[in-house]
Amino acid sequence: MNWRLYLFALIGMVYSVALLGAGLLAWRMTDPQQSGVDNFGLPVLLSAALAVCSVMSLWIRKDRIIGMIGIHVGLIIPLVAVVSLVMRGWDLFRVDGLGSPQVILCGITALLGVFVFMAMFNTRPPKEARHAAEKDSA
């Protein structure tokens, strides 16, 4: 199997852990009178989805369809995270201002998502390797 595929999965898993940590930190920073589910729910959901997609991408030799779904959906999830974190950060910015720790956390995590997308896009297996995996499984 191509080393780039392992790197792709590793980047996805690291960002998944980072999203989980950001969700837990945002939940911890929530006002005690609020539930905190809105700060915690989406990052944890995206974290779980990205972890599943990272594992699915490694199955490309056994089942090409599952592997390709893992790769392509795994590329989309960081972009969804960026858009949702920017929207959440903007809502928090309008209420709390720029000095709010949650606004800063949303900004840092969204910026990390942009870098993760670029890294995953550049490390995805080249087309030749994907076709070689298809020929090997046949």
What single string gives the DSSP state of each residue in the chain? --HHHHHHHHHHHHHHHHHHHHHHHHHHTS-TTS--HHHHHHHHHHHHHHHHHHHHHGGGTT-HHHHHHHHHHHHHHHHHHHHHHHHHHHHHHHHH-TT-HHHHHHHHHHHHHHHHHHHHHHHSPPHHHHHHHHHHH-
The tens digit of pLDDT for each residue in 37-76 reads: 777 888 889 999 999 999 999 988 888 899 999 999 999 9
Task: With 0.85 as the threshold, say if the pTM is over it.
Answer: no
